[in-house]
Amino acid sequence: MDVYVFSSRNKTQGMVLAEACVAGVPVVALDGSGVGDVIEDGKNGRLVPNASEGDFVEAIKWVEAHAPLSVGARETAKKFAIKQCAERALELYEHILGREHRFCDLASSDWSEALRVLEAEWDIWSKRVGALQSALSVAGEDGSPQRVN
């Protein structure tokens, strides 16, 4: 394979991107959440800002003209080796354990944003479950919900 093209906006965990790099295959990918953690524009592939066919064609042609990108792809793959990932996780744990723990004001931290997002997600899923319950139930003769079989 000469180039791996990734156009998903939803499947952005990055495993397939790292796998392409392990194979030494440069990547052309839609610039989205998580993609930039693996693909470095111009080093191991190209990041495409828009999902247009023309932008992808242009990026693929650029990659074809810059063959040494396979070296950058293999260098990127080294960052995702099990040993390096385990070492980074261990360093993070050691850093956290070494920090002085103190009360932090949730209103003035990144945690408040995370909490806001979780509350919004909870609200959405609660409404979906309620709608599903309504769809699966009908009122019986006495007005109580009856399950539809």
The CATH code of the domain that includes 16 is 3.40.50.2000
Q: What does the pLDDT average to over 36-55?
A: 90
139, pLDDT greater than 60: no
Give the total number of structural domains in the chain.
Answer: 2
Mean pLDDT of the chain: 80
Task: State which residues form the domain around 111.
Answer: 106-139
Confidence category of residue 43, pLDDT binned at 50, 70, 90: very high
- Burial class of residue 118, CB neighbours in 10 A (0-12, 13-18, 19+): exposed
- Give the Cα separation of 109 and 29 in Å (integer): 32
Residue 96 lies in a domain: no
Can you say whether residue 20 is alpha, beta or left, with left for phi > 0 and alpha for psi between -120 and 50 degrees? alpha
Are 15 and 73 part of one and the same domain? yes
Asked whether residue 133 is domain-assigned, the answer is: yes
The answer to whether 27 and 45 have CB atoms below 8 angstroms apart is yes
pTM over 0.85: no
Task: Tell me what pLDDT residue 141 has.
Answer: 61
Going by their DSSP bridges, the two strands 45-48 and 145-147 should be labelled as: unpaired
- The predicted-structure confidence for 83-130, as pLDDT tens digits, reads as follows 888 888 888 888 888 875 555 555 556 777 777 778 888 878 878 777
pLDDT: is 39 or 133 the higher one?
A: 39
